[in-house]
Structure 1
Amino acid sequence: MAILYCFPFVYFSMYQDFANRSMLGYLIMIVVTSLLAFFGKFFSNSIPFIIGNILSVITSFYFIHEMTGNERWNGYFKPLTTYQLLMLVSFLNLIPQFFAMNLANKYKNKVND
């Protein structure tokens, strides 16, 4: 499960926003990471969630760092820098994941009763 989280979700979303002027990447990120959080909590515990989110931020940071030479990329996300947006989106992406994990707990308890 943690390996699936290694995908640079935030970078992918930011790149889709930058290249295609599309917010679809952010929606895909929310749906996929929420599903990963749901199934991770339903079938195991919170460890893949924690490790996976850390790995996703690290891989996103790497790819964003590679794009820093592109002047259009650096100015696109104003007033935030790309790194600030990475941290903000990563943090905000935790919110639907917590809801998904809570839903998984409720569903798991309902199935076990």
Structure 2
Amino acid sequence: MKKSWLIRALLLTAYCVPFAFFSVKGDITSGTMLYYGVMIVSFVILYRCALKTDNVPIIFIGNILSFISSYLTAKLSRLDPMEWYCKLFTSHSLIVAISVASLIIHAIIVWRRGRKQRNAQGCDRT
């Protein structure tokens, strides 16, 4: 019981890292897309850990926490609007877009996993 609580707390704490902010900030300052790759790898590790430990709600709560921490960090750090860099988005709207895309991708993964499990259970019953 205590171990599962600790795992949930560690996962939520790891999700509180402002991944989207660091990606956008790194893109602005160094002009490389490498930081987006680091963000993707971090999210993959976190959602895989949550799935392995059967903490699916943590994925969604964590994504929301990551968005909040990224957006607040961007606002508090007075991140350059970046309108000159990407005509479609400002830095803040890019953080929102990244967070929404991440949430959608994780929802699809969880949905497909649940569907596979239900199909596997249906085959076992017959």
For the superposition of Structure 1 and Structure 2, which TM-score range results when normalised by the shorter chain? 0.7 to 0.9
Q: Percent of counterpart pairs with the same letter?
A: 30
The 1-side partners of 2:20 and 2:79 are apart by 18
Aligned residues: 108
For CA contacts below 8 A with separation 6 or more, give which structure has more relative contact order: 1
- The 3 A distance-change label for structure 1 pair 69 and 60 is closer
Q: Is the 8 A contact 1:35 1:100 kept in 2?
A: no
CA-atom RMSD in angstroms:
2.7
Structure 2 partner of 1:91 = 100
- What do residues 31-81 of structure 1 show as CA deviations (whole Å, max 9, x unaligned)? 11012111101112212111111110011001111343646x453333312
- What TM-score results when the alignment is normalised by the length of structure 2? 0.69
- What do residues 10-48 of structure 1 show as CA deviations (whole Å, max 9, x unaligned)? 001001100110101111111110121111011122121
- 3-state secondary structure, aligned to 1:17: helix
Unaligned runs of 5+ in 1: none
- 3-state secondary structure, aligned to 1:75: coil
Aligned positions of 1:63-82 closer than 5 A? 63-68=73-78, 70=80, 73-82=82-91
The 1-side partners of 2:73 and 2:85 are apart by 16
Max Rg structure? 2
Picking from 25, 29, 32, the partner of 2:42 is: 32
Unaligned runs of 5+ in 2: 1-10
